[in-house]
Amino acid sequence: MTKNAIVLGAGIVGVSTAIHLQRRGRQVTLIDRKAPGKETSFGNAGLIQREGVVPYGFPQQLGVLVRYALNNRIDAHYHLKALPGQLAFLARYWWNSNAKRHEMISRAYAPLIQHSISEHNDLIEASNAQNLIRKNGWMEIFRTAGKRDAEFAEAERLRAEFGISYEQLDAAGVARLEPHINGDFVGGLRWRDPWSVLDPHGLTMAYRAYFESLGGRYLTGDANSLGRSGANWRVVTSEGSLDAEDAVLALGPWAAVATRRLGYAFPLGVKRGYHMHYAAEKNATLNNWTLDAERGYFLAPMNRGIRLTTGAEFAAMDAPKTPVQLDRAEKVARTVFPLGERLDPEPWMGARPCTPDMMPIIGKAPRHDGLWFAFGHAHHGLTLGPVTGRALAEVMTGERPFVDISAYSPQRFNP
């Protein structure tokens, strides 16, 4: 008999997992409280980051920490009243970011990133979503020679150790690629391997349509209703209660609450982020996904307009929006590129689910049969959705996973 599976969470990770389970003969129901792709997967810089083998660490240098403590930056912002509840997470994050630990984590993390392009390509072709993809990498631009040279050296290390491809640019090279960018930029770095996405939500929706073409179905429902029903798992949906032999929690930043109800204590933190779309003035064109490296904001030429994204905000996940980083970024970005009017009625805000060791949680629940976890992807949820989905589906169906996921086991936090 065909086994049933429930996937809770219809972001890029959940949709990808549902596809791969459906492909392997499971009858899958994808469940979310909202339409697919409307939460964390909706707002990002739109990059499939093949170069992102080194996860984002916590600053170690005292001088850098002091500058962040002033709380006036674009790349990081914090709510003072939220810090007491986040100190344990931040302390572990800081400790794991020391040079030796961070290097070990990067080597464990790299195999996931290595397959990010190929696994997305599989689903892009299957879902006929090629029109949403560009394959020309992305670019960092530098204001100082010190930052430029340090990033060039790091890029060469990544090339030597992980096979990452890049191109060094002088000021003239930046101007050639981006003739409408202004400012005293001394050079740039173009990462050649990554792909970019013109509409991240559109990509998730294309994957969802492909999933349904395979015979899967989507329902609205409440992840907090998940519980045991004999040997099965049961969840309440818009069409009543639904039972299945397997349940996958791909709930992004909401996974901490859902797993806590089941007796688990994952040290999940969140990094909130914002974006806004803009028109371009004077027929200006932005050709590349571009990071102003020393200011910490991103400009991405998407279908909706030029998307301006911010760095990380450390705050309670349900706290009201405080888009001060976006306002700071917009002020700087307008001096760099001729941004026109805002195209969104208000800034979008989302929350990235983060673990203190910067690696996702993928695998079987330690104390429950038929329960599986796929969350904690931090800044790389879009990048790693299809890789995660395939590897987890292979484990669930008794196959040998194409990539070793033991480093991402839930047991490292809940033995």
Backbone angles phi, psi at 377, to 5 degrees: -85, 0
Q: CB of 113 within 8 A of CB of 49?
A: yes
Nearest in space to 410 (alpha carbons), one of 378, 364, 369, 376: 364
What confidence score (pLDDT) does residue 127 get?
98
What confidence score (pLDDT) does residue 361 get?
98
| Residue 40, helix vs strand vs coil | helix
CA distances from 151 to 3, 154, 246, 327, 329 (A): 49, 5, 45, 27, 22
| Residue 407, helix vs strand vs coil | helix
Q: DSSP labels for 258-302?
A: HHHHTT-----EEEEEEEEEEEESTT----S-EEETTTTEEEEEE
CA-derived radius of gyration, the chain: 21
Scored b (16 or more CB within 10 A) or e, 87-103 reads eebeebbeebbeeeebe
What confidence score (pLDDT) does residue 52 get?
97
Q: CB of 410 within 8 A of CB of 361?
A: yes
CA distances from 142 to 150, 165, 292 (A): 10, 19, 7
| Residue 108, helix vs strand vs coil | helix
Categorise residue 308: left if φ over 0, alpha if ψ from -120 to 50, beta otherwise: beta
Tokens of 385: 């959705």
Measured distance CA(168)–CA(145) in Å, rounded:
13
Measured distance CA(336)–CA(116) in Å, rounded:
31
Q: CB of 280 within 8 A of CB of 334?
A: no
Q: CB of 34 within 8 A of CB of 15?
A: no
What confidence score (pLDDT) does residue 1 get?
61
DSSP 8-state class, residue 168: E
**Amino acid at position 339, single letter:** L
Residue located via tokens 């700071």: 328
Residue located via tokens 């998407």: 302
Q: CB of 349 within 8 A of CB of 191?
A: no
- pTM (predicted TM-score): 0.96
What confidence score (pLDDT) does residue 93 get?
96
Q: What is the pLDDT along the chain (415 residues), one digit of tens a residue?
A: 679 999 999 999 999 999 999 999 999 999 999 888 888 889 899 999 999 999 999 989 888 888 889 999 999 999 999 999 999 999 999 999 999 999 999 999 999 999 999 999 999 999 999 999 999 999 999 999 999 999 999 999 999 999 999 999 999 999 999 999 999 999 999 999 999 999 999 999 999 999 999 999 999 999 999 999 999 999 999 999 999 999 999 999 999 999 999 999 999 999 999 999 999 998 999 999 999 999 999 999 999 999 999 999 999 999 999 999 999 999 999 999 999 999 999 999 999 999 999 999 999 999 999 999 999 999 999 999 999 999 999 999 999 999 999 999 999 998 7
Cβ neighbours for 280, distance < 8 A, ≥ 6 positions apart: 180, 286, 305, 306, 337, 338, 339, 340
Nearest in space to 342 (alpha carbons), one of 368, 370, 308, 310: 308
Can you list the domains of the chain with their CATH numbers? 1-58+98-134+194-264+357-414 (3.50.50.60)
For the chain, the maximum distance between any two Cα atoms, rounded to a whole number of angstroms, is 67
**Amino acid at position 243, single letter:** D
